[in-house]
Amino acid sequence: MTILLLLFTFVLAAFLGLELISKVPSQLHTPLMSGTNAIAGIVLVGAIAATKVDGWFGTLLAVLAVALATINVVGGYIVTDRMLAMFRAGAKKD
């Protein structure tokens, strides 16, 4: 039963994702890509949970996953913010 509920959640979320963006102005394509890429760093949650594993090798992989996911999250948000900060500066004039 749980799996069906999870699948249900997945499908609904996917449809929401499909509807969420449309007609994005082209100058926002790159920041949007970069911003959703940072969000995909949520796998950090999975990596944190994975540190429950026993054994040195599993722990090594899990810590590596935590570090990589954090790179994705931190780098992704900063890069996106830097790009969008520039639009702000340009738009201020009007």
Partner 1 sequence: MQDVVIDLAYIVAAMLFVMGIKMLGRAATARRGNLVSAVGMLIAVLATLLAGGINYAWIVVGIVVGGAIGASVARRVHMTQMPETVALLNGSGGLASLLVGWVEYLADPRPDTITATAIFLAVLIGGITVSGSVVAWMKLAERITGKPIQFGAQQVINGVIVLGALVIGVLLVSDPAGSYPLLLVAIAASLALGVLAVLPIGGADMPIVISLLNSYSGLAVSATGFVIDNTVLIVVGALVGASGLILTQIMCRAMNRSLGNVLFSGFGSAVHASTMAAEGEIKPLSPEDAYYILEAAATVVIVPGYGMAVAQAQHVVKEFADLLEANGTEVRFVIHPVAGRMPGHMNVLLAEANVPYEQLVEPPDVNPTMETIDVAGVIGANDVVNPAAREDEGSPLYGMPIIDVDKARTTFVLKRSMNPGFSGVENPLFYKPNTRMIFGDAKAVMSALVSEFKDA
Residues 23-52 that bind partner 1 (CB under 8 A): 24-52
x/- letters, 4..23, toward partner 1 (CB under 8 A): --x--xxx-xxxxxx-xxx-
Q: Confirm if 32 and 21 have CB atoms less than 8 A apart.
A: yes
Q: How many residues bind partner 1 (CB under 8 A)?
A: 83
User: CB under 8 Å to 53, separation ≥6 — which residues?
Assistant: 59, 61, 62
* 1 near partner 1 (CB under 8 A): no
* 56 near partner 1 (CB under 8 A): no
How many CA atoms within 13 Å lie on the side-chain side of 77? 8
CB of 38 to partner 1, least distance (A): 7
